[in-house]
Chains A and B, each alone.
Chain A
Amino acid sequence: MKLTLKIWRQKDAASKGQIVDYILDGVEGDMSFLEMLDILNEELVSKGEEPVEFDHDCREGICGTCSLQINGEPHGPDRLITTCQLHMRKFKDGDTIVIEPFRAKAFPVIKDLIVDRSAFDRIQQAGGYISVNTSGNTVDANAIPIRKEDADKAMDAATCIGCGACVAACKNASAMLFTSAKVSQFALLPQGQVEAAERVENMVRQMDLEGFGNCTNTGACEIECPKGISLENIARMNREYLSASIKG
């Protein structure tokens, strides 16, 4: 198939960017979206032009590196997948595809389609852990029985890959789904209870400092999340936060 690609090009963080049009022929349905971009880049390199830079690594939907706002949606039109798992069979001959970086003040563009998501790291550093030494002198794993239901819910929250699609999809560029996934994982486990109050307060404080927007419960994050992280986590974080604040 033949496609028109409208791609955001930006030299570096300081430069102003703009949309540049490319025509790409010979795209097959079995290609992944990123393989389609590989082909475009191969063409650009052979012409001596700078290829389009985009983040990607594992190409199997788990590392969370790939991003891209495709036709106005993070990770494109398909559901429960990342851009690297999006296949070109979702498009048809003659389509125009607009490809932009994830947009948020807290995610500044580094180059072309690459954004800096270190804000997420800083939120995690503020408290996304259980303060246990890694010495191996802990209790036996089965000494802490956990209800299967809680363990499963914690796991569901923990599957967040930190890609930032929630922020990109949200009309407010809010990072509540991301932050709440981590808060929830630990809030649901007995190991995480001890420092639950400090954790949620510190993580929310950092989230606010990074300049993300507020949650208005539109639910776009949940729909666009490649891992289907539930809005329940946001409610849980709100709960945790309120109880921590009131007790604190």
Chain B
Amino acid sequence: MGILDSKIPSGPLADKWTKHKNEINLVNPANKRNIDVIVVGTGLAGGAAAATLAELGYNVKTFCYQDSPRRAHSIAAQGGINAAKNYQGDGDSFYRLFYDTIKGGDYRSREGNVYRLAEESANIIDQCVAQGVPFAREYGGLLDNRSFGGVLVSRTFYAKGQTGQQLLLGAYAAMNRQINRGKIQSYNRHEMMDLVLVDGKARGIIARDLVSGEIQRHSAHAVVLATGGYGNVFFLSTNAMGSNVMAAWRAHKKGAFFANPCYTQIHPTCIPVSGEHQSKLTLMSESLRNDGRIWVPKRMEDAVAIREGKLKPTQLAEEDRDYYLERRYPAFGNLVPRDVASRAAKERCDAGFGVNKTGEAVYLDFAAAIERYGREKALTSGLKDPSKETVTKLGEEVIEAKYGNLFQMYEKIVDENPYKTPMMIYPAVHYTMGGVWVDYNLQTTIPGCYCAGEANFSDHGANRLGASALMQGLADGYFVLPYTIGDYLADDIRTGAIPTDSPEFEAAENEVRSRLEKLMSGTGIHSVDYYHKKLGKIMWNKCGMSRNAKELEEAIKEIAELRKDFWENVKIPGAADSKNQELEKAGRVADFLELGELFAKDALHRNESCGGHFREEYQTEEGEALRDDKNFKYVAAWEYKGEPKDAVLHKEELVYENIELKTRSYK
């Protein structure tokens, strides 16, 4: 077990969480008033946790870099949220959701955590409906579901293509209620610069007011990090521009182990890169794969002609198209998990069948769905022998009702009408399964420092299934962390307020100040973005959808060099004691430049392919991922020891008592 104790409760899988909740310490309501908790990040996990903690009676301070908690990037999640409600009566259950998640994660997540997640999933839907989240409904007034990749049931609840937005606004509303009650103080446009440890326990943070540049000390009895993932280490990703790893990385440097950094999810359906100026990538919800068929031309000459603009995709006959997902994975077809779909797209494009100018795009085609829905609609409307135009028109209406906002978004960006010509899509970095290591209580290796949502290494193993991120964020925030944190805080009822004038706070503040000074004193000529883009290129080319030992070794070296260059030559105009977006970016990129190296190191050490981590050396003859359960069935948790290359590996062995490890197959 080493020094990592996952604290998974004993007993049968289905009873673990209930038993744990019964056995952990609680803080009595009168004492909660004397306890302060800091929550960094106000997305689904942070917002939900802050609301619940405040409601329980703790004094909560929230921090977010955005101008309002409502803008956290959870808001961008489109497709939906999974819950084992079995409203559709299609055989769903806690166990099935648990099983799908473990399998989808390629057997690299904890059974206990995932089962708890499945159990709480149903609660989430009840809770959100009570809060007024307007989920989609059927005509009977009951909730509607759709299906998502990697599963065989319909368990995804949704609110148009804006599920994340609606759930986040629900959590934000719950926060607002507590702000109105004075139980939450919300610090917006504030960034956590460092974690403060007193006697080995997390006791506060150093924050920077992004408007005034003021450095502030905030103390608490516990600190919750819910700051999202680190996909922006790739520069181009579907994350928000401001999404960063700073809080998690600061905690890592103060002693929190960082787990599985190389597990990155590359989402298969994003709008392809259009040029050098590109600043971010836009996701097209996975729900589109319910109705869209993915293909590239069968013949190389057609692909070339399309790239050169001499041939239109609609001109290509059915038999000249290669629906490669349906061909390779007949059972799941276009609904294979994300990692599988992404790699398959890359494989086709690498083989020369890409369909846009850069050769890095495949088609997502709705023509078949439009026709199918059109015929259905014509039939139910009593139209006999409808013309082709009528069928198309009716079909387009159905598609518009389902995905209208996504189609509109696509058209605005690409300037092509996706009803008339197939969409072009390509994989892009979307989510990071890795993150700060936490035990069953969501506590990191620093006592009193908790981590929730995407920021922790979490429940998704090596690959996350669609519509599960929202589920995990809210489960952590509403239903797990507020209770498990009580177990720790029960010891703090007599501690009293934590003073901020201690030497520890002094030292942490000074460290932050000198770091800012160092950033500002760069004498070079390159902007922060210059370095970020360079880092992104290294990451995408050498640590991206497929990796090999040679390139990973190169990446480690190149990132270290780039980091050195950055600290010497970065150029930041303006001053540190005022609003300064370049300085904000610089602090974040500085951390990415360290994380990137650890990322590559982790990918290099994991000599197997699993989920989002695909090592070219480890694949079957058909090009499928080849897992090595004998040697790598563990969580890789890295301990900070100075430079990222010196990080020390700690292994948490994964124990499977309820699930038999199998080769993941979606054929």
A–B direct contact (CB < 8 Å): yes
A interface residue numbers (CB < 8 A to B):
11-12, 28, 30-32, 34-35, 38-39, 42, 44-46, 48-51, 53, 55-65, 78, 80-81, 85, 87, 89, 110-111, 114, 116-118, 120-121, 124-136, 138-142, 144-148, 151-152, 154-155, 158-159, 161-162, 185-186, 189, 191-192
Q: Is the CB of B279 within 8 A of A57?
A: no
- Our pick among A64, A133, A158 for the contact of B71 (Cβ within 8 Å) is A64
Residues of B within 8 A of A46 (CB): 525, 527, 571
8 other contacts beyond A138-B127, A151-B136, with CB at 8 A cut-off?
A50-B573, A53-B581, A63-B71, A85-B409, A129-B132, A134-B48, A161-B165, A191-B130
Question: Cβ of B8 < 8 Å from any Cβ of A?
Answer: no
B598, chain A: closest CB distance, angstroms: 26
Q: CB-CB contacts of B553-571 with A at 8 A, as 1s and 0s? A: 0000000000000000001
Between A and B, 26 residue pairs with Cβ closer than 8 Å are A30-B275, A44-B573, A45-B582, A46-B571, A48-B571, A48-B573, A58-B240, A59-B240, A62-B75, A62-B165, A63-B75, A65-B67, A85-B413, A124-B173, A125-B176, A131-B177, A135-B55, A141-B125, A141-B129, A142-B142, A148-B138, A148-B141, A152-B134, A155-B160, A189-B132, A189-B134
Nearest chain-A residue to B282 (Cβ)? A60
Q: Is the CB of A63 within 8 A of B134?
A: no
Q: Is the CB of A87 within 8 A of B71?
A: no
> Contacts A114-B579, A142-B87 hold; do A42 and B527 have CB atoms under 8 A apart?
yes
Question: Cβ of B52 < 8 Å from any Cβ of A?
Answer: yes
Q: CB-CB contacts of B156-184 with A at 8 A, as 1s and 0s? A: 00011010111001001110110110000
Q: Is the CB of A134 within 8 A of B55?
A: yes
- Our pick among B134, B211, B238, B529 for the contact of A110 (Cβ within 8 Å) is B211
A70, chain B: closest CB distance, angstroms: 15
Residues of B within 8 A of A85 (CB): 409, 412-413
Q: Is the CB of A155 within 8 A of B180?
A: no
Question: Cβ of B241 < 8 Å from any Cβ of A?
Answer: yes
Residues of A within 8 A of B582 (CB): 45, 51
- Our pick among A28, A64, A140 for the contact of B275 (Cβ within 8 Å) is A28
Nearest chain-A residue to B120 (Cβ)? A136
Residues of A within 8 A of B514 (CB): none
Residue among B48, B76, B128 with the highest chain A CB neighbour number at 10 A: B76
Q: Is the CB of B579 within 8 A of A129?
A: no
Residues of A within 8 A of B393 (CB): none
Q: Is the CB of A57 within 8 A of B70?
A: no
Nearest chain-B residue to A158 (Cβ)? B134
- In the bound complex, how far is the Cα of B186 from the Cα of A32, in angstroms? 32
Range, interface on chain B = 35 or more
Q: Is the CB of A138 within 8 A of B275?
A: no
Q: Is the CB of A129 within 8 A of B176?
A: yes
- In the bound complex, how far is the Cα of B85 from the Cα of A144, in angstroms? 15
Q: Is the CB of A63 within 8 A of B73?
A: yes
Q: Is the CB of A146 within 8 A of B130?
A: no
A210, chain B: closest CB distance, angstroms: 14
B123, chain A: closest CB distance, angstroms: 4
Q: Is the CB of A89 within 8 A of B579?
A: no
B261, chain A: closest CB distance, angstroms: 24
Question: Cβ of B415 < 8 Å from any Cβ of A?
Answer: yes
- In the bound complex, how far is the Cα of B51 from the Cα of A64, in angstroms? 22
- In the bound complex, how far is the Cα of B129 from the Cα of A186, in angstroms? 11
Q: Is the CB of A151 within 8 A of B135?
A: yes
- Our pick among B48, B415, B527 for the contact of A87 (Cβ within 8 Å) is B415
